[in-house]
Amino acid sequence: PAAAAARLDLDGNPIAPLTICMIGAGGFIGSHLCEKLMAETHHVVHAVDVYCDKIRHLVDPAPPHLAGRISFHRLNIKNDSRLEGLIKMADLTINLAAICTPADYNTRPLDTIYSNFIDALPVVKYCSENSKRLIHFSTCEVYGKTIGSFLPKDHPLRKEPEFYVLKEDESPCIFGPIVKQRWSYACAKQLIERLIFAEGAENGLEFTIVRPFNWIGPRMDFIPGVDGPSEGVPRVLACFSNNLLRREPLKLVDGGQSQRTFVYIKDAIEAVVLMIENPARANDHIFNVGNPDNEVTVRELAQMMTEVYANVSGEAPLDEPMIDVSSSQFYGEGYDDSDKRIPDMTIINKQLGWNPKTPLKDLLETTLTYQHKTYKEAVKRQMSQASAT
């Protein structure tokens, strides 16, 4: 019966238990990956992060049924000699650690570049020197802007997929000028991708690079003033959630015309587990992981979130649910934007047979139900304290 219960990889072979060093395990993606690995696999996880609030239920302390399966190592990979030992002890390292909120790219470009390039260097080096496999998290932002965005607004070629669909092996990386510091993140991520790729080509490093396309869901980022700094600016899901919880209008940056494709975190995590458990199919590949069917403009996202939140909370929407703000007001100087992000899914489909499942409406319902339940009371308390002082 034990053999019958063994889990098989995509080629029908039993999956051996792995020891995984997961760096950035306490973040949004890491917390979901830890949960999934604990619930559905037999792998052991050494979770590395500077904080563990989002995985506290798994590590502080580990529940009895997970004894020996997961441990938390509080360390900053910038300057901690324990990192090499943890990588050596593991079969596989997954690096999620990064500064990855756009509000930081133009206001803290040095921290952004150090975090996404310099701090990742030792991780790559230790994996390469010790012949350990690496799954590194990059970003869809390495594509930058689409080719089509440089054509006149109504040009018919803008509608042709060659001018906007983003392909791992073919599309160029198109960033704005250096004064547009927004691109510091994309550029640092691009260079670490090139370095990892070169380690693979010259030194035989076994690697997989993941390019997430706007993964969203519960536990993403923070609500300013509740579980993050009151002046902090998280990514759009948390910004809009915060506005809805506080009954203030959603802020559309530069008209909200940029387009994004959103994928449900739980769908995306399934792709990562396939990469973990099918090294022969995942090694030496760069994978787009997104949902090309869930495309909206930021304005449309704001409209959908307003409607869904009204259903979830029972509170009628505001008369003016959205307002326009300029990017320089909202993010400061040096902001710029990706215009459109449609992932080509050919490679991940062929290698891992993965497809996203959850429509945008459904994932917003689940996520906003979570946001309302988790934060509504805390936001009310915080607002009444703030108005009292």
Catalytic sites, residue numbers: 185
Rule CB under 6 A: is residue 21 a binding residue for ligand NAD?
A: no
Q: How is residue 32 written in tokens?
A: 């979901």
Q: Which stretch binds ligand UDP (CB under 6 A): 201-209, 232-240, 265-273, 370-378?
A: 232-240
CB 261 within 8 A of CB 292: yes
What are the backbone dihedrals phi and psi of residue 176, each rounded to the nearest 5 degrees, phi first? -80, 180
Measured distance CA(7)–CA(16) in Å, rounded: 9
Q: Give, as one character, the DSSP assignment of residue 228.
A: B
Among 18, 20, 22, 29, binds ligand NAD (CB under 6 A): 29
What would the x/- binding string for ligand UDP be over residues 129 to 168, using CB under 6 A? ------------x---------------------------
What are the backbone dihedrals phi and psi of residue 207, each rounded to the nearest 5 degrees, phi first? -135, 155
Rg (alpha carbons) of the chain, rounded to whole number: 21
93 or 358: whose CB is closer to ligand UDP? 358
- For residue 79, the SS3 value is coil
Q: How far is the CB of 122 from ligand NAD (least distance, A)?
A: 11
Size of the site for ligand NAD (CB under 6 A): 24
137 or 143: whose CB is closer to ligand NAD? 137
Measured distance CA(236)–CA(310) in Å, rounded: 18
Q: Which stretch binds ligand NAD (CB under 6 A): 169-177, 211-219, 249-257, 342-350?
A: 211-219
Rule CB under 6 A: is residue 256 a binding residue for ligand UDP?
A: yes
Torsional sign, CA 383, 384, 388, 389: negative
Rule CB under 6 A: is residue 298 a binding residue for ligand UDP?
A: yes
- How remote is the C-alpha of 202 from its chain's centroid? 29
Residue 309: contacted member of ligand UDP, ligand NAD, none (CB under 5 to 8 Å, by partner type): none
- For residue 264, the SS3 value is strand
59 or 298: whose CB is closer to ligand UDP? 298
Query: By the criterion CB under 6 A, which residues form the site for ligand UDP?
Result: 102, 141, 214, 235-236, 239, 251-253, 256, 258, 260, 298, 337-338
